[in-house]
């Protein structure tokens, strides 16, 4: 690949807010769950394309802590889709030496899924080139509450003083502790909000919103987002010289 300006500024970590499955389906007279099924296929394609493009980490927001509030039947179908994804698609990714891990409280899922999640993490832990983090029952606020509790316990155990709490300590206590901050957050479907996704971690992420519904998102759309990222001027509060 040629060393074009945008190639020089490749994001290391991209977060995807995969939104619009329901509207995609409804607009075609299909059930919302048909959108989720297509969405899962797209997630696999996008992950593989990100790997091909030299991205190092992708975090896929698949199910939020608030998504339990949806109708029971939709939640059930989503769990069935995740289960199938773990048993089929992730097996394929494992063959391609992709490290796969999960963030979010997994204990709320059925025991067979929790077992499979732990197994996947164990089996892929040694792969270093490319990693996929699946956010399932993830919500930033819950993650932050859990982190505050961990820090409080450390203080009570006298591991460090209150004055020792700093950015690193907070990072270590969050479930995202072993991935770099995301450089780019892509949200599909035209909504322009974070919806409780990586809110501490994306403090300086570039945000990219596209009207494309997730089931229609493809390799070219990802290329467009990466190119747009390459044109951004990330200042981190400093002055560009
Ligand atoms: C994203 O698509 C998938 C999940 C949140 C699980 P939606 O289901 O939110 O689709 P819309 O936003 O209703 O179109
Ligand atoms: C965010 O989408 C969660 C995921 C993509 C998993 P939602 O569709 O749940 O978010 P809101 O309700 O539009 O904010
Ligand atoms: Mg939505």
Per domain, the residue ranges of the chain are: 13-138+183-230
Indicate if ligand 2 lies below 6 Å from the C-beta of 198: no
Residue with tokens 């945008």: 6
Shortest-distance atom of ligand 1 to CA 62: 6
Q: Which listed ligand is nearest to 136 at the C-alpha? A: 2
C-alpha span between 43 and 58 (Å, rounded): 11
Which residues contact ligand 1 via a Cβ below 6 A?
Answer: 18-23, 63, 67, 78, 189
C-alpha span between 40 and 116 (Å, rounded): 18
Is 67 known to be catalytic?
A: yes
Tokens representing 199? 């809110």
Indicate if ligand 2 lies below 6 Å from the C-beta of 74: no
Half-sphere exposure of 209 (CA within 13 A, CB side): 7
Shortest-distance atom of ligand 2 to CA 67: 9
C-alpha span between 13 and 140 (Å, rounded): 17
Tokens representing 98? 């992709």
Which residue's CA is minimally distant from atom 1 of ligand 2? 195
Which residue's CA is minimally distant from atom 2 of ligand 2? 19
C-alpha span between 175 and 181 (Å, rounded): 12
Q: How many residues does the chain have?
A: 241
Which residue's CA is minimally distant from atom 14 of ligand 2? 195
C-alpha span between 181 and 200 (Å, rounded): 9
C-alpha span between 234 and 66 (Å, rounded): 31
Shortest-distance atom of ligand 1 to CA 23: 14
Indicate if ligand 2 lies below 6 Å from the C-beta of 18: yes
Residues with CB under 5 A from ligand 3 (ion): 19
C-alpha span between 146 and 132 (Å, rounded): 22
| Structural contact between residues 134 and 101, judged by C-beta atoms closer than 8 angstroms | yes
Indicate if ligand 2 lies below 6 Å from the C-beta of 195: yes
Tell whether domain 13-138+183-230 is in CATH 3.40.640.10: no
Tens digit of pLDDT per residue, the chain (241 long)?
A: 344 444 469 999 999 999 999 999 999 999 999 999 999 999 999 999 999 999 999 999 999 999 999 999 999 999 999 999 999 999 999 999 999 999 999 999 999 999 999 999 999 999 999 999 999 999 999 999 999 999 999 999 999 999 999 999 999 999 999 999 999 999 999 999 999 999 999 999 999 999 999 999 999 999 999 999 999 999 999 998 6
pLDDT at 240 (0 to 100):
82
Is 21 known to be catalytic?
A: no
| Structural contact between residues 17 and 186, judged by C-beta atoms closer than 8 angstroms | yes
Indicate if ligand 2 lies below 6 Å from the C-beta of 63: yes
Indicate if ligand 2 lies below 6 Å from the C-beta of 67: yes
C-alpha span between 159 and 178 (Å, rounded): 21
- Centre of ligand 2 to C-alpha 154, Å, is 33
Tokens representing 56? 């190092």
Task: Give the global pTM.
Answer: 0.96
């Amino acid at each position: 690949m040629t060393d074009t300006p945008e190639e020089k500024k490749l994001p290391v970590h991209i977060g995807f807010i995969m939104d619009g499955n329901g509207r995609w389906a409804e607009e075609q007279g299909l059930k919302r769950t048909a959108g989720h099924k297509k969405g899962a296929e797209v997630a696999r394609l996008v992950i593989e394309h990100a790997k091909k493009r030299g991205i190092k980490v992708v975090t896929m927001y698949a199910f939020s802590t608030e998504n339990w509030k949806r109708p029971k039947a939709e939640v059930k179908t989503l769990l069935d889709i995740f289960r199938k994804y773990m048993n089929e698609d992730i097996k394929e990714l494992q063959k391609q030496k992709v490290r796969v891990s999960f963030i979010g409280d997994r204990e709320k899922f059925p025991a067979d899924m929790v077992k499979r999640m732990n197994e996947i993490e164990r089996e892929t832990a040694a792969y270093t080139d490319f990693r996929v983090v699946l956010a399932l029952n993830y919500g930033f606020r819950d993650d932050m509450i859990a982190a505050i509790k961990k820090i409080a316990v450390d203080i009570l155990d006298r591991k460090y003083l209150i004055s020792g709490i700093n950015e690193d300590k907070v990072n270590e206590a969050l479930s995202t502790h072993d991935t770099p901050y995301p450089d780019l957050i892509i949200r599909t479907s035209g909504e322009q909000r974070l919806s409780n996704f990586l809110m501490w971690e994306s403090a300086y992420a570039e945000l990219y919103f596209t009207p494309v519904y997730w089931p229609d998102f493809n390799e070219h759309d990802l290329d467009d987002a990466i190119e747009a990222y390459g044109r951004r001027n990330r200042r981190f509060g400093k002055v560009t010289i």
